[in-house]
Structure 1
């Protein structure tokens, strides 16, 4: 991937930005149809008859769950604007525990799981009319992520049976100085790699990267993602669009769902694909928090 310095490639979206916190405010307005894809859940089945050396229950199996699986157990109703809080009964980020040993983790926010993104990328690539420029995509990544801002700090602590000796203290201070110097060099290289103009999406400044559907169709792409020769990151795009402007995929940093805006046929195809827990929405609607 290469950093795109010509941020005017996103001007067409800025002209169509909808109201803040609406689906059109996240993915832009003016498309024929919109679909909301709920982020999948990870669930662990624990053996609660025992604990391990860390005082935790051993995990017997891990599975992917849908929001509908949780709603069935909590006897809540799902609709296109559903919130995780509504079906889980949680008003915080705690896990949801069931008596049969299953522990369900909250959905990821601001991150669209790469396997799902790969399935969607493959889907749009198969629909020839949906993407005329499959090898020319623009991905917008929020520049506020802590590991991408170039401003992270380091902390150190002493772990031992008591106060460190003078020799141990000197050794630790030497180690700290060496590691901090390396960290400062890495942060400077990060800032240099991402230096340049930003795509000024409302309330979400982003840098732009060149991407392709074939790249995103491999769910392991984040393992080797680089910008230039330095930046290694594990973030899926906040916004993604082809140069042909046929569709937009958007994952707001504070949302636990991803929006796809595009043609009627594209949205219908996503709705019919059981790999996605998806609901059609209106551009001017908002999730029910």
Structure 2
């Protein structure tokens, strides 16, 4: 895995991107089939009983939630163009019984899910050892010197090392790739490019060694916005403003994704509307944000 400099990889995709807010505007038109993978949710079970610890509420349990579970709880209908904002708040946690469920994260496919997806993607191309990742150049973690973190420590002496957060790690190669001549420019977005074997993505920690802004403190962020193999057999897209990941490719690849119960996924079309207006089934949610 290495950063690409002076490459033209990905420029071919521009002529296939059509339809702002549509699937084809993210992964391109002309594929045999398309899948939409919904980003998972995180839920916390809260215990409001004060057991003398002075901390209320206490987190009694944590687990992943699906959009389907939230829809069932609020009486909504799941369908290929469902929008999370039609089910619950996109800005704040939603209370479901004693649980608080966080909204899905935009522009980020959980590395563990990408690791599960990687073998399916590899089986769908003749060049599994030669793929390209594109990461949006606007992520703050790619430029850690541009921000500031304030740490408060209460105790005797200096803060222990464990109390000091690990800053995002950005390699010199990534910093160099962020300069103008080396970036991939597509409509509305600019990316740095990385070449890899798809098998490398089966390790959820792949980004730490590469130095793309991941941190043991802040998490495995950013994730790739686009992935494609050199033979251009498919494209995966995790658009920064969308809460789902899209794949356009062969019928066999999409069927394999839809059949894997690790993913909460729907088949969509190039014209499927993924904007907040795209949910024509569920009524607009009364905002309390």
- State the TM-score bracket (shorter-chain normalisation): 0.7 to 0.9
- Matches of 2:246 and 2:50, distance apart in 1: 42
Q: Does structure 1 retain, via aligned residues, the 8 Å contact 2:36–2:246?
A: yes
Q: Provide the secondary structure at the position in 2 that maps to 1:13.
A: helix
Q: Does structure 2 retain, via aligned residues, the 8 Å contact 1:95–1:106?
A: yes
Q: CA deviation at 1:157?
A: 8.7
1:10-56 Cα distance to aligned partner (Å, 9 max, x none):
12111211122211111111111111000011111111223886744
Q: CA deviation at 1:242?
A: 0.5
Alignment-derived partner of residue 7 in structure 1: 7
2:25 counterpart of 1:38: no
Q: Provide the secondary structure at the position in 1 that maps to 2:142.
A: coil
Alignment-derived partner of residue 222 in structure 1: 207
Q: How many pairs were matched up? A: 256
2:89 counterpart of 1:95: no
Q: Provide the secondary structure at the position in 2 that maps to 1:15.
A: helix
Match of 2:105 among 105, 108, 111: 108
Q: Provide the secondary structure at the position in 1 that maps to 2:182.
A: coil
Alignment-derived partner of residue 60 in structure 1: 60
1:100-158 Cα distance to aligned partner (Å, 9 max, x none):
x1111111111000111011102223x2xx11111111000000011214661336699
Identify the structure with the greater helix proportion: 1
2:136 counterpart of 1:138: no
What 5-or-longer segments of structure 2 have no aligned partner? 155-166, 216-220, 277-289
Matches within 5 A, 1:1-289: 1-50=1-50, 55-88=55-88, 90=89, 92-99=90-97, 101-125=98-122, 127=123, 130-149=124-143, 152-154=146-148, 191-192=175-176, 194-195=178-179, 196-226=181-211, 234-289=221-276
Q: Does structure 2 retain, via aligned residues, the 8 Å contact 1:82–1:288?
A: no
Q: CA deviation at 1:190?
A: 6.4
Deviates more, 1:236-245 or 1:196-205: 196-205
The normalised TM-score by structure 2 is: 0.80
Q: CA deviation at 1:215?
A: 0.8
- Matches of 1:133 and 1:69, distance apart in 2: 38
Q: Does structure 2 retain, via aligned residues, the 8 Å contact 1:151–1:187?
A: no
- Matches of 2:173 and 2:53, distance apart in 1: 41
- Matches of 1:70 and 1:83, distance apart in 2: 12
Q: Does structure 1 retain, via aligned residues, the 8 Å contact 2:92–2:103?
A: yes
Q: Provide the secondary structure at the position in 2 that maps to 1:34.
A: strand
RMSD over equivalenced CA pairs, Å? 2.6
What 5-or-longer segments of structure 1 have no aligned partner? 161-182
* Structure 1 residues 158 and 103, CA gap change in structure 2 (3 angstroms): closer
Q: Provide the secondary structure at the position in 1 that maps to 2:257.
A: helix
Q: Does structure 1 retain, via aligned residues, the 8 Å contact 2:43–2:100?
A: yes
* Structure 1 residues 205 and 72, CA gap change in structure 2 (3 angstroms): same
* Structure 1 residues 109 and 142, CA gap change in structure 2 (3 angstroms): same
Q: CA deviation at 1:218?
A: 1.4
